[in-house]
Homo-oligomer: A and B are copies of this chain.
Amino acid sequence: MSRIPTARTADKRRLEPKERELEIVRGAVAFFAEFGFDGSTRELAARLGITQPLLYRYFPSKEALLDRVYEEVYVNRWNKEWETQLRDRSVPLEDRLVRFYQGYAKVILNYEWVRLFMFAGLKGLDFNARYLAFLRSSAFNLIAREIRLDSGLPVEGPVLNEEAELIWGLHAAIFYLGVRQFIYGMPVPDDLDADLALRVRAFLRGMPAAVGDLIHRESAGQARRAG
């Protein structure tokens, strides 16, 4: 049996540290996404084809490795252009929202993102709350204002909780596709882009009307109270 040393064969003992570390991180992402944080370091090592103590050569503790896993999956995933696109009023609002969610879904609707997100929440990390607070401030408020403008509703005044909640509902419906697929193991629509377009369309036909009612009722109430 001849062996080509430079070839990428299955037995890859003694890797460059950078390469080994990357391999561990990637394996850890897949592993902890599947088994959660209680997955054992021994089984992770077995999957990587290395021994368990080697993990501790690259990461001082299991928790440090988990931190790195989270960095790998969640850091720098937000595309700043999404906000620019959402604001581009030369494009119909429906198209803007559809494109935004099609892009956003590509980032979050995958096995690792969805499951690790849920594991983090169940473990009690504040990661989820921080992420969603960011999402609300960067996207939900923006979308709410664009909808008001597009629907001829008054744009002055802060975004109502109700508006944010309804947008959150659309977001939840989309994220739940990932929950169904990657946590419950259920089928989801095979044409994701078409599904997202349908959801956005249905949302845009109902949400502004409901918000309009809300605002009118609100201002009518104020008028009554004032008069």
Residues of A within 8 A of B (CB): 36, 38, 115, 118-119, 121-122, 124, 126, 128-129, 132, 161-162, 165-166, 168-170, 172-173, 175-176, 179-180, 183-186, 189, 195, 198-199, 201-207, 209-211, 213-214
Contact partner, A173, options B122, B173, B205, B214, Cβ 8 Å? B173
CB pair B173–A168 under 8 Å, yes or no, is yes
Expressed in whole angstroms, the minimum distance between the Cβ of A152 and any Cβ of chain B is 16
Copies in the complex: 2
Chain B residues, Cβ within 8 Å of A173: 168-170, 172-173
By the criterion CB–CB under 8 Å, are A118 and B172 in contact?
no
- Rounded to whole angstroms, the CA-CA distance of A185 and B203 in the bound complex is 27
Interface pair B36/A183, CB less than 8 Å apart: no
B185 touches A176 (CB 8 A): no
Instruction: Name the residue on B nearest A133 (C-beta).
Output: B186
Give the most central of A165, A175, A203, A206: most B CB within 10 Å: A206
Given contacts A119-B122, A175-B176, contact A132 B204 (CB under 8 A): no
Q: How far is the CB of A77 from chain B (nearest CB, A)?
A: 18
Q: Is B184 within 8 A of A161, CB to CB?
A: no
- Given A128-B184, A179-B121, A183-B122, is A205 in contact with B198 using a C-beta cutoff of 8 Å? no
